[in-house]
Amino acid sequence: MEQVAHTAELDAEFTALYRAHLRDVYSYAYYRIGNHHDAEDLTEQTFLQAWRHFERARCESDGRPLRPWLIRIAHNLAANYYRDRARRPQSPLEDADVVSAPHETEELVEGREELRDVLDGVAALPDDRREALIMRFALGMDNREIARALGRSEGATKVLLHRAIKQLEGALGAHG
């Protein structure tokens, strides 16, 4: 009877974790992989792997949030995705929503071109810099969470983000 209660408690906690972080894991996967179908697959694989190791991670977390742990799983699976397929994303992130209100056609085209330049710049960054920028700006993770997800110190993460931003600014400046 005690085992059933323990299993029910774990199920409820994992369900809450899933609901709280599904969007973050999917967003990370989408920005990392570049297409919806593979991002959905990666998200599913992330949560399946998380479920297998959930009880241990819960115990080892000492009450810290598990979002960085989930993103770390997604990060590792994305690395495997590229290693296994030895290719880059087939389609760029063209369907990212640029506008939320009606704009003149010229403004719309300029906005999409700017977004494409930014996404191309991010895609050209080394993996660790791209990962850190996605976590920071697409997921809103703080430096501590990013550090945990990437297995780095907070100081190293700050330097990584700073260098990523400077490199991206340089690339965008070169494009005008």
pLDDT in tens, 134-151: 899 889 999 999 999 999
Model confidence at 72: pLDDT above 90: yes
Do 103-176 and 1-89 have the same topology in CATH? Answer: no
Residue of higher predicted confidence among 171 and 18: 18
Measuring CA to CA, how many Å separate 142 from each of 64, 90, 131, 145? 14, 30, 13, 5
Whether residue 107 has pLDDT greater than 70:
no
User: Of 9-23, 76-90, 160-174, which range is least confident?
Assistant: 76-90
Least confident of 4-13, 18-27, 34-43, 107-116: 107-116
Tens of pLDDT, residues 18-62: 999 999 999 999 988 888 999 999 999 999 999 999 999 998 888
User: Counting Cβ atoms within 10 Å, is residue 6 exposed (0-12), middle (13-18) or buried (19+)?
Assistant: exposed
Q: Would you kindly state where each structural domain of the chain is located, as residue ranges? A: 1-89, 103-176
Q: Which residues contact 171 (CB under 8 A, 6 or more apart)?
A: 121, 124
pLDDT, position 62: 85
Instruction: Say what percent of the chain tops pLDDT 70.
Output: 82
CATH code, residues 103-176: 1.10.10.10
Residue 89 has pLDDT above 60, yes or no: no
pLDDT, position 110: 61
Of the chain, the percentage scoring pLDDT greater than 90 comes to: 47
| Dihedral (Cα; 120, 125, 129, 130), 10-degree rounding | 30
In the structure, what pLDDT confidence band is assigned to residue 98 with cuts at 50, 70 and 90? very low
Quick check: pTM over 0.85? Answer: no
- pLDDT category at 1 given cuts 50, 70, 90 is low
CATH number of 1-89: 1.10.1740
